[in-house]
Structure 1
Amino acid sequence: MKENSIITNFHAHVYYNTETRDIAARIREGLEARFEVQLGHWHDQPIGPHPTSMYQVAFSPNQFPQVVPWLMLNREGLDILIHPETGDDVTDHTAHALWLGTKLNLNIGLLKRINAS
């Protein structure tokens, strides 16, 4: 059994499209106003393993009990991937992933290629 201490951080990926970008902006503003999180860049096109537009939110393990419930109640129908950072990108984005909304098909092959290099 693995220990929680190997989790260095968490990422939430908030997915949106052109019709839901304003909703994503509201969620982003709410996160920034309420929590000490690191907000990543807006990616209006698929990037890395992510199949649609998104931005990333990084937060520490001790913030999980506050940030994740807030996202659960305030995601306004958007799909959100939450995963730990353990140093194993493939497993973090798959076996260790938590989805709010619909589970999207990530390009895990890309992560495997990046990890192999």
Structure 2
Amino acid sequence: MQDTTKIIDFHAHIYFDPASRDAAARIREGLSTRFEVQLGRWHDRPIGPHPKAMYQVAFSPEQFGKLVPWLMLNREGLDILVHPETGDDVGDHTDRSLWLGEKLELNVEFLR
């Protein structure tokens, strides 16, 4: 059993396409006004292990219990990956992740 103190923080990756970019912007605005988060840049095409356009949201373990339920209710049909940051990129993005919406196939080889 691993200790949850290994979790440095969490990331949420909000995936979108040109038709859903406005919804992604509304989610981004909601996150920035309601929570203490670090918003990453918009990536309008796949980057790294991510198969679609997305932006990243970093947040503390203390925010998890309020932020993730908010995403569950306000994701506007977008697919979202939520994962811990423990220093093990592959495990964090796969075995220890959760998905809201469709589980997209990540390019895990990029993380190795």
TM-score by length of 1: 0.95
Q: How many angstroms does 1:66 deviate by?
A: 0.6
Note the residue ranges of structure 1 that are not aligned, 5 or more in a row.
Answer: 113-117
Task: Tell me the secondary structure at the aligned position of residue 33 of structure 2.
Answer: helix
Runs of 4 or more above 4 Å deviation: none
RMSD: 0.3
Match of 2:98 in 1: 98
Indicate the residue corresponding to 2:49 in structure 1.
49
Distance 1:94 1:84 in 2: 10
Query: In structure 1, how many angstroms separate the alpha carbons of the residues matched to 2:20 and 2:58?
Result: 21
Alignment partner of 2:82: what SS? Answer: strand
Gaps of 5+ in 2: none
1:30 match: 30
SS state at 1:103 partner: coil
**How high is the TM-score relative to the length of structure 2?**
0.99
Equivalent-residue separation in structure 1 for 2:89 and 2:27 (angstroms): 25
Displacement after TM superposition at 1:38 (Å):
0.3
Other-structure match for 2:5: 5
